[in-house]
Structure 1
């Protein structure tokens, strides 16, 4: 009983349908919403029921809590609030961890 995300807006919470990944939309592109997937399956609004546990815990997680993920054009930005084994993708292209900005020297 999952519903597809039709509109992305800052503050929207999404959950993975296959693992424990949960994200918040920080920045959304103008126009039609891209398809955001985790572990190959579309993400659903976080108000949906939690997925059934699948597989055991792993030592590495594909999506890390507290990290910001961006698409290739950096028009979509997601903040991970719960880590999991699924990898985030936007329209079939893997999302990457947003690089930290360099601070100016304080001379």
Structure 2
């Protein structure tokens, strides 16, 4: 049985959690997609196809304004709406990208 085709990711794509309120924008995408982008274990869907927002009340796992990257640094996502569920790509967790150090000014 063939595996389902994973859609290509392109910078500017907007994705949303199928089970929560997390929303992201793709900043950088790999040349070859090796797995789905997931939130809380469920594949993320195009933002326009996302269900209505779930009620708030839980502590978010993804934080608005943070950038998330995969271990190979080929995928970068910008969180535009906080929500529950950790982000993964191809089964591997995404980490918060550390801020760039600014040059010292004397």
The answer (yes or no) to whether the contact 1:68–1:98 under 8 Å persists in 2 is yes
In structure 2, distance between residues paired with 1:32 and 1:39:
19
CA 1:82–1:24 in structure 2 vs 1: closer, same or farther (change >3 Å)? same
User: Residue 78 of structure 1: CA displacement?
Assistant: 0.2
In structure 2, distance between residues paired with 1:76 and 1:11:
12
Misfit runs of 4+, over 3 Å: none
User: Residue 53 of structure 1: CA displacement?
Assistant: 2.7
User: Residue 51 of structure 1: CA displacement?
Assistant: 4.5
The superposition leaves residues 56-105 of structure 1 with CA deviations (integer Å, 9 ceiling, x where unpaired) of 612x2100001000000111000000000111001111100000011111
**Map of 1:8 onto structure 2:** 9
**Map of 1:74 onto structure 2:** 73
Runs (5+) with no aligned partner, structure 1: none
**Map of 2:57 onto structure 1:** 57
So what's the TM-score if we normalise by structure 1? 0.87
User: Residue 5 of structure 1: CA displacement?
Assistant: 5.4
In structure 2, distance between residues paired with 1:20 and 1:88:
12
Number of residue equivalences: 102
